Amino acid sequence: MLKKIVIGNWKMNPVSLKDADKLFSSAAKSISKVRKTEIVICPPFIYLERLRKLSKKINLGAQDTFWGDVGAFTGEVSAEMLYNLGVKYTIVGHSERRALGEENIDINKKLKALLSARITPILCVGETSRDESHEYFNVVRTQIKECLSGINKNLISKIIIAYEPVWAISSTPNRRDATALDSREMSVFIRKVLSDIATPAIAKDTRVIYGGSVSERDAEEFLRYGGVDGVLSGRASLTAEKFVKIIKIAESI
């Protein structure tokens, strides 16, 4: 069985370093007994350096990177810079970035940059809506195939695939809840796509996680029955007690 992972994506929160410090420290102090579960927090870039000093138990992740390695790219942050700061994971292809114009071709270059910098990429995939003819499976297949294009098969299991149905994410207007069955069905499908791209063994070794409004109330359902190796939570990770509760649920399963 693959090690369970619980990831918090803070998105563009909180508004000050003081608040970031408080949120991170308060989660860190309640997880001293956690042994089996990998924990990651992805804060905004500007808090990474400070938070790195606060806990060894919580791994640091970034929410994005740029594909270039160094040079004239105003406003960007490279994978190597993140690595040098102690970042171990980085989210790419989040739907909130895709909505700003990021495409599979950009995500593919970012994945390659992260892998060369020895950072574990967390690749987000997921359809914006569901249709009766199940076209959404093709949407996710295309995302995975295009994002992984040209990546050495043996590196695929180093990538975490996060299934985030956009229609379930808290920032989506009129969102609705996804079920553990929705997650299970898609995680089986994602492994099938990985198996076609690489091999069944590589697909089996690749962590697939679920993200889409996971809270302390439904984390157990997703972790037990959703066919996934972990969860990626947004809003719930902004309240230390809720995030810690999700971690403890993962630890108990």
Catalytic annotation, pick one of 38, 127, 164, 216: 164
The residue number with the shortest CB distance to ligand 13P is 234
State the minimum distance, in angstroms, from the CB of residue 79 to ligand 13P: 19
Closer CB to ligand 13P, 156 or 218, in the complex: 218
Give the contacts of 173 (CB within 8 A, at least 6 positions apart): none
Spatial contact of 26 and 243, defined as CB atoms under 8 Å apart = no
Q: Can 94 be counted among the known catalytic residues?
A: yes
Q: Can 164 be counted among the known catalytic residues?
A: yes
State the minimum distance, in angstroms, from the CB of residue 214 to ligand 13P: 6
Rounded CA-CA distance 211/223 in Å is: 11
Closer CB to ligand 13P, 198 or 246, in the complex: 246
Catalytic annotation, pick one of 38, 94, 96, 127: 94
Closer CB to ligand 13P, 124 or 198, in the complex: 124
User: 3-state class of 183 per DSSP?
Assistant: helix
Rounded CA-CA distance 35/89 in Å is: 19
Spatial contact of 143 and 113, defined as CB atoms under 8 Å apart = no
Closer CB to ligand 13P, 198 or 233, in the complex: 233
| Residue 32, both tokens | 């001293």
State the minimum distance, in angstroms, from the CB of residue 86 to ligand 13P: 21
Distance from CA of residue 146 to its chain's centroid? 18
State the minimum distance, in angstroms, from the CB of residue 1 to ligand 13P: 24
Structure-token match 């919580």, residue found: 58
Closer CB to ligand 13P, 25 or 170, in the complex: 170
The site for ligand 13P (CB under 6 A) is made up of: 9, 94, 164, 169-170, 211-214, 232-236
Distance from CA of residue 92 to its chain's centroid? 8
If DSSP states are collapsed to H, E and C, what string results for 21-85? HHHHHHHHCCCCCCCCCEEEEECCHHHHHHHHCCCCCEEEEECCCECCCCCCCCCCCEHHHHHHH
Is the previous residue joined to 14 through a cis bond, with omega within 30 degrees of 0? Answer: yes
State the minimum distance, in angstroms, from the CB of residue 164 to ligand 13P: 5
Write out the catalytic residue numbers: 94, 164
